[in-house]
A and B are shown apart, each in its own frame.
Chain A
Amino acid sequence: MSRPASSLFSAALVGPALLGAFAKLDPRVMIRNPVMFVVEVVAALTTVLFVRDVAAGADGLAFSGQIILWLWFTLIFANFAEALAEGRGKAQADSLRRTRTEMQAKRLTGPGRDVEIVPGTALKVGDVVLVEAGDLIPSDGEVIAGVASVNEAAITGESAPVIRESGGDRSAVTGGTQVLSDAIRVRITAAAGSTFVDRMIALVEGASRQKTPNEIALNILLAGLTLIFLFAVASIPSFASYAGGAIPVIVLVALFVTLIPTTIGALLSAIGIAGMDRLVRFNVLAMSGRAVEAAGDVDTLLLDKTGTITLGNRQATAFRPVRGVTEQDLADAAQLASLADETPEGRSIVVLAKDTYGIRARDMAGLNATFVPFTAQSRMSGVDLEGSSIRKGAVDAVIASLSGQPISGQPMATRGSNAALAYQPTAETETVAEIRAIAEEIAKAGGTPLAVSRDGRLLGVVYLKDIVKGGIRERFAELRRMGIRTVMITGDNPMTAAAIAAEAGVDDFLAQATPEDKLALIRKEQAQGKLVAMCGDGTNDAPALAQADVGVAMNTGTVAAREAGNMVDLDSDPTKLIEIVGIGKQLLMTRGALTTFSIANDVAKYFAIIPAMFLTLYPQLQALNVMGLASPRSAILSAIIFNALIIVALIPLALRGVTYRPVGAAALLRRNLAVYGLGGLLVPFLGIKAIDLAVSALHLV
């Protein structure tokens, strides 16, 4: 699913959104938005009165007619904003829906390969299906046997196939994706209609959209303000009658509708939908709007070291020989041992030896060498050539191999020829101590030591270093300015972890972290009232993902992890956590900025309508007409037109969001208050005056 940044007002979106705007006038839909519902009730009532007056042949209906027209425009503009926001999601939903076409499933009927063909919709949770090369996976499930390459482009937009296998952390498969090779057995974990894709469709379409707690609270505030202004306007007829006059209903309606916070009321749901949509465009699916809000509130970020803070692999940065061995010799041996080692670490050793000591990579075949691969038992790899054997590996493993313990995977002949060397405990003790000292020094500095031996003799240590990602330090400083604490999670020992933490600039670290440690850390932070975000992929991450306020599960992860998190990152990029926080903040800021703007607008509207309204009672009130509006009628009409047009003008801001800058709260407030608070105060004065000039020029009243 590719997501090009479509322009906000592209024709393909505007047409359906306009239609949707009218469909949403249905009062059953409108009632979800109290402010706009009130506008609709008022608009409907004045329309009825207008029709009555027309039937009675009353005079001067052009003015009321225009006001009523603009009331309906206000409603349609509000609905248009929401429909436009939804429309952008719908386009994505349609492409997703295509993956959900009729699917046949091969349901296994027994332990063997006996299958029956059933429609995908007939599958129940717990059924086991066989999926072979070329088949679409019929529903969400977990691989229980086999390994296969799967094309998940339908979900992630990424065309490179991914490996899915039983056991481990990559066992989850998604309905609608295609197996490219091999065959897997999948236990179905989601019934038709509630699969991942179904949920995605519902989410991006906004169908399952529920108001978030903050939205509910904001709606209460807006409803309260609406009531206050209702009192203010409803008491005016009495006051006017005391003053010996009467105010036309249509003028009271105009004042009321311009005062109530229609701007934010109209754009509130569009802001929420657009926030979710921004995440989707970023290839992250939030399972609820609440999760997006929580992201903005996050106080502590738990970040996995590998892949987020450091590049996934370590690199050799130095050769540290023991006494009596030159760096050159050590580099030579290390390079020989690594020539056939295709791991990033191995390759980095070859490169370092070449770059620093000019030792050119040699051809394995030409050397008549045999590569000894790494095994979990030996924890070493190396090379045997011309009666000589070179090993590199974890310091303990290499030392242990020297003290005569049998090492599997090593040709007997090599061992025999070096037997004399291998059994010289006294000679080796000093060297062993030296190696250990070097190793500890490297570990303290955050590196990983790799011991190298040749023919049973320790030569020295290769300094493998975790390479901290470029720019990550600045990112963490940024987060700190935003008031967010970063905690690095790593399996490394505390010494190494501390060194990397210092280099990367994280605030804290959790070394030798077990899933239980992670969970405990989250609970501890939450007990202090903090909100915690983390990402994870494995089944053992599931409890922590569920406990975290924002749990971002990697799409490559297990079913358990995906169920536990409240967001899924389709790109499986743990770095994104930082951006997710930014998107959450942007959503909240947009909401606050437009609320402030909307409320600040009222000042100008009072000054437009109050003098116009009371001028017949007390001509002296002309002095309050600070904007110098042409006539009472043009003033009232201009105010209501401004009130409607400002909604349209702010749709782009509502959908794009207020620009978020990672500076402290004080600076953010200062800036936003200047733009949206002060702007909200001044813009309507200018806007209403401009519209008044146009209204007078066009002789609309």
Chain B
Amino acid sequence: MTLNGWFQIALFCAVVVALAKPLGGYMTRVFAGERTVLSPVLAPVERGLYRAAGIDAAQEQHWLAYALSMLAFHGLGFLALYGLLRLQTALPLNPDGQGAVAPDLAFNTAVSFVTNTNWQSYGGETTLSYLAQMLGLTHQNFLSAATGIALAVALVRGFSRASARTVGSFWVDLTRTTLYVLLPLCVVYALFLVSQGVPQTLGAAVEATTLEGARQTLAVGPVASQVAIKMLGTNGGGFFNANAAHPFENPTALSNFVQMVSIFALGAAMTNVFGRMVGDERQGWAILAAMGVLFLAGTAVLYWAEGAGSPVLDALGLTGGNMEGKEVRFGILASALFAAVTTAASCGAVNAMHDSFTALGGMIPLINMELGEIIVGGVGAGLYGILVFVIVTIFVAGLMVGRTPEYLGKKIEGREVKMAMLAILCLPLMMLGFTALATVVAAGLAGPANAGPHGFSEILYAFTSAAANNGSAFGGLSANTTFYNTTLGLGMLFGRFFVIVPALAIAGSLAAKKTLPASAGTLPTHGGLFVGLLVGVILIVGGLTFFPALALGPIVEHLAGGLGQTYPAGG
């Protein structure tokens, strides 16, 4: 740990917060359907798209219609991507001649990209054609991210509208988010990445002769365009297997910093969009503050754990921090911060091997995901995720001011609580349920590379990452098997849609309610007290559930490590 390290963390936070307001302002205008600086160029394209699809942009949807549109859209998207992966041998843009993807892997991969998870059971450069990468994956990277944002906007409309039947149009929200927010930002961002040395080519892999005279095949491809959206859209699926640790995906310290900022940028800006849409920006800052408290606490522990190293390494003469599994050009801070950021937001891009972190260092990414990806979270998904927790918090604590619970003038009643609990229930069921299954069946036990608590962490991490739609891999787990491809795929599906649909139901029910004017008797939700309360409820309701699992995984590994005991591979 160095002062410089802490300074970098502070700088990172400052940049993210500074970007939230301008981005939030711009996005609010986009979602409200107002003119923006880009309208002269994009408005004709937008109108053309609506005309081609037969969409009446003025026609808003009931929450159920919104949900059905979203499900139908993703159902078709899933089928198209599955087909593309299975048939890539027969399709163009396959210069390296990649074979057809196996059915279970194709299922897993299609679900993974449709759900904004980007869990990768495969190595990108050795499995997929350029067409599959660009048309299949990059396209879903945009649309799954845009869907997350659209859903969050629909939920916020639930709070900002009164006595309304509709929550917006899924088609319009999806189109405008993609066209006005994601595409322009990605174009600029991809160009920046190219300037840092990221390749963007349709040419085949190149042969190179190394200094020792050995010949090496260097995979290239349309990398910059995919990296841009994988970060901005919190997708995380790398072009290369090594993801952001690969020098072609993440060449410089600057690109590393910008990539971390870009993971948080839109998610943090969504809190500002929320504040603006409900007519009180402070509400958005309060949500961001709660996210910030959780993020900084986790990051501090992670940085401390990695910086301190482990007694086992010390005994081997490797004093100082833990550098195992980290790129030397990034070092401890940039790797630890990246790990915290990518798991706090449901990005899942990695620039270091989380499997090689210290036990406690590896626990923080787990906790970040187990809380339900609400620390900034996936674009949009983080906002609707934390709003679900806000509803529970308001319901528990709101009564303590002597009124039935209300948030932003909306009464929180049985229906909202029911839907919020459904959404919250889904994650522990998927994460703990599938881990429980995998730790007893032979197919599951075949996966982890390590024995004992560390092997347990590997399994727990995989299902946690899948259900939270994060997609980062702890590593060490051989996940490309029928068992893991299927169970992880199901985890991703339920983890995404069993949260989205209840969130939309909440949006519909809130929009239909009257908005009560605030008074001195109303629970204030923009202050530090509320932020503290929200953090407490998230930790107790969302986090404590995982305490037994964490105790058997990273905690016991940490305690054992202190006694010099390790759980080596194959042991």
Residues in chain A within 8 A of chain B (CB atoms) = 213-214, 216-218, 220-221, 223-225, 227-229, 231-243, 293, 296-297, 299, 480-485, 528-530, 584-586, 588-589, 591-593, 595-596, 599-600, 602-603, 606, 610-611, 613-614, 617-618, 620-621, 623-624, 660, 664-666, 668-670, 672-673, 676-677
Question: By the criterion CB–CB under 8 Å, are A293 and B404 in contact?
Answer: yes
Residue B541 at the chain A interface, CB threshold 8 Å: yes
> Which of chain B's residues have a CB closer than 8 A to the CB of A584?
402
Instruction: Provide the bound-state CA to CA distance between A297 and B399, in Å.
Output: 10
Instruction: List, in ascending order, chain B residues with CB within 8 A of A228's CB.
Output: 424-425, 428, 541, 545
A235 touching B401, Cβ below 8 Å: no
Known A-B contacts A596-B400, A677-B536; the reply to A217 vs B413 at CB < 8 A is yes
Q: In the bound complex, what is the Cα–Cα distance between A234 and B392 (angstroms)?
A: 24
The answer to whether A482 and B555 have CB atoms under 8 Å apart is: no
B189 to chain A, nearest CB (A): 39
Interface members, chain B 346-401 (any A CB < 8 Å): 392, 395-401
Q: Can you name 14 A-B residue pairings with CB atoms under 8 Å? A: A217-B395, A220-B417, A221-B396, A228-B424, A228-B425, A231-B432, A482-B521, A596-B397, A599-B396, A614-B548, A620-B560, A620-B563, A668-B401, A677-B536
For the complex, give the distance between the alpha carbons of A231 and B463 in Å: 15
Q: Which of A529, A600, A670 has the most CB of B within 10 A?
A: A529
Bound state CA distance, A666 and B523, in angstroms? 6
Q: How far is the CB of A592 from chain B (nearest CB, A)?
A: 3
Q: How far is the CA of A485 from the CA of B546 in the complex (A)?
A: 46
Given contacts A216-B414, A232-B548, A529-B514, contact A595 B556 (CB under 8 A): no
CB of A481 within 8 A of CB of B523, answer no
Measured between alpha carbons, how far is A170 from B555 in the docked complex, in Å?
A: 74
Set A216, A233, A236, A618: member contacting B453, Cβ < 8 A? A618
- Residues of chain B contacted by A589 (CB below 8 angstroms): 399-402
Is residue B436 within 8 Å, beta carbon to beta carbon, of the partner chain?
A: yes
Q: How many residues of B contact A (CB 8 A)?
A: 67
Judge whether B293 is part of the interface by a CB distance below 8 angstroms. no
B551 contact from A602, A621, A668, Cβ within 8 A:
A621
Bound complex: CA A485 to CA B516 (Å): 14
Q: In B417-462, which residues have CB < 8 Å from any A CB?
A: 417-418, 421-422, 424-425, 428-429, 432-433, 435-437, 439-440, 445, 452-453, 456
* A676 to B399 Cα, complex, angstroms: 12
Is B6 at the interface (CB under 8 A from chain A)?
no
Is B9's beta carbon under 8 Å from chain A? no
- A-side contacts of B547, CB under 8 Å: 232, 606, 610
Residues of A within 8 A of B413 (CB): 213-214, 217
Q: Is the CB of A669 within 8 A of B556?
A: no
Describe B's contact surface by its main secondary structure.
helix
Given A235-B435, A239-B549, A296-B403, verify A483-B521 contact (CB < 8 Å). Answer: yes
- Tell me, in angstroms, the Cα distance from A12 to B159 when the chains sit together: 51
Q: Do residues A296 and B402 form an inter-chain contact, with CB atoms below 8 A? A: yes
Q: List the interface of chain B (C-beta within 8 A of A).
A: 162, 392, 395-404, 409, 412-414, 416-418, 421-422, 424-425, 428-429, 432-433, 435-437, 439-440, 445, 452-453, 456, 514-517, 519-524, 527, 529, 533, 536-537, 540-541, 544-549, 551-552, 555-556, 559-560, 562-563
Q: Given A213-B413, A529-B515 in contact, is the A588-B437 Cβ separation under 8 Å?
A: no
List A contacts of B515 (CB < 8 A).
529
Cβ contact within 8 Å between A676 and B418: no
A243 CA to B544 CA, complexed, in Å: 21
Nearest CB of B to A617, in Å: 7
A672, B400: Cβ atoms closer than 8 Å: yes
- How near does chain B come to A175, taking the closest CB pair, in angstroms? 35
The distance from the CB of B449 to the nearest CB of chain A, in whole angstroms, is: 15
B429 near A617 with CB under 8 A, answer no
Which of A220, A483, A588, A618 lies in contact with B414, CB distance below 8 A?
A220
Given contacts A529-B514, A592-B396, contact A614 B529 (CB under 8 A): no
New contact pairs (6) apart from A214-B413, A610-B548, A677-B533, CB-CB < 8 Å = A216-B414, A218-B395, A232-B547, A242-B439, A481-B520, A672-B401
Most chain B beta-carbon contacts within 10 A, residue among A229, A239, A596:
A239
* In the complex, chain B residues whose CB is within 8 Å of the CB of A670: 529
Question: Contact: B436 with A235, CB < 8 Å?
Answer: yes
B552 contacts across to A, CB distance below 8 A: 239-240, 242-243, 614, 617-618
B551, closest chain A residue (CB): A610
Ranked 5 nearest A-B pairs via Cβ: A483-B521, A592-B399, A585-B402, A224-B421, A483-B519
Chain A residues lying within 8 Å of B555, measured Cβ to Cβ, are: 621, 624
Closest to A584 in B: B402
Contact call B392/A221, Cβ cutoff below 8 A? yes
Inter-chain contact A239/B544, CB cutoff 8 Å: no
- The docked-state distance in angstroms from the alpha carbon of A600 to that of B402 is 19
Cβ distance B459 to chain A, nearest Cβ, rounded Å? 8
CB-CB under 8 A from B402, the residues of chain A are 296, 482, 584-586, 588-589, 660, 665, 668
Interchain nearest-CB distance for B568 vs A (Å): 17
Give the residue name and chain of the A residue nearest to B402 (CB).
A585
A299 to B519, CA, bound (A): 8
Residue from the list A225, A593, A606 in contact with B541, Cβ < 8 A: A225
B521-A232 in contact (CB<8A) = no
Interface-central residue, A241, A592, A603, by most chain B CB under 10 Å? A592
Cβ of B399 and Cβ of A665 under 8 Å apart?
A: no
Q: Which A residues touch B540, using CB under 8 A?
A: 599-600, 602-603
**Is B397 touching A592 in the complex (CB atoms < 8 A)?**
yes
What are the residues of chain B within 8 A of A664 when measuring CB–CB?
520-521
How far is B230's CA from A266's CA once the two chains are assembled, in angstroms?
49
* CB-CB nearest in chain B for A664: B520
Give the chain B neighbours of A599 by CB distance below 8 A.
396, 537, 540-541
Query: Is the pair B395, A484 in contact by a Cβ cutoff of 8 Å?
Result: no
In the complex, A218→B453 CA distance in Å? 38
Instruction: Return B54 CB to nearest CB of chain A, in Å.
Output: 38
Q: B91 to chain A: closest CB distance in Å? A: 42
Nearest A residue to B418, CB-CB: A220
> Does the CB pair A483–B396 fall under 8 Å?
no
User: Are A665 and B397 neighbours in the complex by a CB distance under 8 Å?
Assistant: no
Q: State the CA gap A217–B411 with chains docked (Å).
A: 12
Q: In the bound complex, do residue A482 and residue B517 qualify as a contact, i.e. CB atoms below 8 Å apart?
A: no
Q: Residues of B contacting A617 with CB < 8 Å?
A: 552
Once A238-B440, A624-B555, A664-B521 are accepted as A-B contacts, the answer to whether A231 and B397 lie under 8 Å apart by CB is no
- B-chain residues with CB within 8 Å of residue A233 when the two chains form the complex: 548
A591 to B516, CA, bound (A): 22
- The complex places the Cα of A249 from the Cα of B500 at a distance, in Å, of 36
Tell me whether A213 and B414 are in contact (CB under 8 A): yes
Query: B401 contacts A217, CB within 8 Å?
Result: no
Q: Give Cα A355–Cα B545 distance, bound, in whole angstroms.
A: 77
Tell me, rounded to whole Å, the shortest Cβ–Cβ distance linking A571 to chain B: 24
